[in-house]
A = this chain, B = another copy of it.
Amino acid sequence: MNCEIICVGTELLLGDILNTNAQYLSRELAALGIGLHHQQVVGDNPDRMRESISKALAESDLVILSGGLGPTADDLTKEICCEVMDEELVLDEEILQGIKNYFSSKGLAMPENNSKQAFVPKKNGIVLKNANGTAPGCAVEKNGKIAIMLPGPPRELIPMFENEVKPYLAKKTGGVILSKQVRTFGIGESDMASRVKDLLNGENPTVAPYAKDGEALLRVTARAENEEKAARMCDEAIEKIKQRIGKYIYGIDCQSLEEKAVELLKKADKTLALAESCTGGYIAKRITDIPGASSVFEYGIVSYSNEVKQKLLGVNAETLDKYTEVSEQAAAEMAQGVRKLSGADFGLSVTGFAGPDAASDGRPAGLAYIGFSCAEKTQVRELRTGKNAREYNRYVAASNALHMLIEYLSERNDKE
């Protein structure tokens, strides 16, 4: 099955919004094993839309459209696409009532325009429910071609694709589709990919590598008659992946290092305190991105100056004199210091050169020391990113700190 995507919206042609839908849909289609060969963006212009849709349907088995399902006069995707496919649109009273209910639940009357959204394909289509807005999507299947029409806002499009389109496409290709994500840390994308190279060529399950925010991940997607079997297929592939790169895997189906760190802290009923120099609050920010982080994280110090390091964290003046503030010794004392000051179970610290410039003593941007301290031990890891990029260096240093904590807590869990 080959496929084409058409995103509709003048705001995309003006550059007002970033086309994240195109990436999302492309990635999902790749995971489903559906070959995408063309993406287009057209404005809310009937003639151009007609031309693009006709051409796409002539060349592809499946055309996925996003945008232009709104209530205003220039929202024309459904009308034009059904016209091109010679499919009549009819009013669906139930959907109309649903839209009216949506408005009345907000204490509003439905504007007359919105009734347009209750028109659906008469004969050769199905309706795709929208749990997050008024515009339902639809799929029309005719003469061996399929057109799927989705709303433009990602918070409507993504759940509709997940819950309505995937099962629909799974039926077309047979069965259910299930994806699981394997998250790694400390291994590059190409290194990871080369170690699981043979798995990347599989057709079912598919295994696809991604690099995201300096981490490498693998997505495993299986197609099967039922969910149980698809899950088993995913798990078998993940087992093989674990054999190759197990020591780099920190989570299956979790979202981020910070989510994993908070989850493990909660599980262990332990608390964390932070002393951040070059990351300047970035670890604290990421930890507190997670709802409920307050139960495990109470205390963070951003200690940009040596004075704060000494006065508040109790780093020795001699340490700073002898080894400088960017040193293994300073990182260790910062991690110990903040743990003691706060009374938390664990202390994490980062001190380094974020860049973009090298340090005045000639040491490179991207050099950082990351300290971890608990009751039994204090350890420090040296990081050298080799890059001058400030944001990258800060993000990666924060990630390394979170990963040190995760490693400790994971080992602790394994022992229990």
| Interface positions of A (Cβ within 8 A of B) | 12-20, 22-30, 36-43, 45, 48, 52, 210, 274, 276, 278-285, 287-289, 291, 293-294, 297-305, 307-308, 342, 354-357, 390-391, 394
Contacts and interface: CB of A to CB of B under 8 A. Distances in A.
21 contacts: A12-B26, A13-B37, A13-B39, A14-B27, A15-B23, A18-B20, A37-B48, A280-B300, A281-B282, A281-B300, A288-B302, A288-B394, A291-B355, A291-B390, A299-B304, A299-B305, A300-B300, A300-B304, A301-B302, A302-B302, A308-B342
A114 to B, nearest CB: 20
A52 B299 CA distance: 57
Given A281-B283, A302-B301, A36 B13 contact: yes
Contacts of A17: 23
Contacts of A390: 289, 291
Given A13-B36, A15-B28, A24-B15, A287 B280 contact: yes
A157 to B, nearest CB: 14
A375 to B, nearest CB: 20
B38 A40 contact: yes
Contacts of A302: 274, 281, 284, 288, 299-302
Nearest to A365: B291
A300 B288 CA distance: 15
A183 to B, nearest CB: 17
A18 B19 CA distance: 8
A291 B357 contact: yes
Given A37-B43, A274-B302, A299-B302, A285 B288 contact: no
A25 B15 contact: yes
A34 to B, nearest CB: 11
A378 to B, nearest CB: 21
A14 B30 contact: yes
Contacts of A342: 308
B304 A297 contact: yes
B285 A282 contact: yes
A48 B30 CA distance: 19
B26 A288 contact: no
A189 to B, nearest CB: 10
Given A25-B15, A26-B13, A308 B304 contact: no
Given A280-B285, A284-B284, A288-B354, A19 B19 contact: yes
Nearest to A52: B38
Contacts of A287: 280-281
A12 B39 contact: yes
Given A22-B41, A284-B284, A289-B390, 16 more contacts: A15-B24, A15-B27, A18-B20, A19-B22, A37-B43, A38-B40, A38-B48, A39-B41, A274-B302, A276-B284, A279-B285, A280-B293, A281-B288, A282-B288, A291-B355, A299-B303
B288 A280 contact: yes
Contacts of A24: 15
B16 A291 contact: no
A307 B19 CA distance: 45
Nearest to A299: B308
Contacts of A293: 280, 304
Contacts of A394: 288-289
A345 B14 CA distance: 44
Contacts of A45: 37
Given A22-B41, A282-B285, A210 B12 contact: no
Nearest to A43: B37
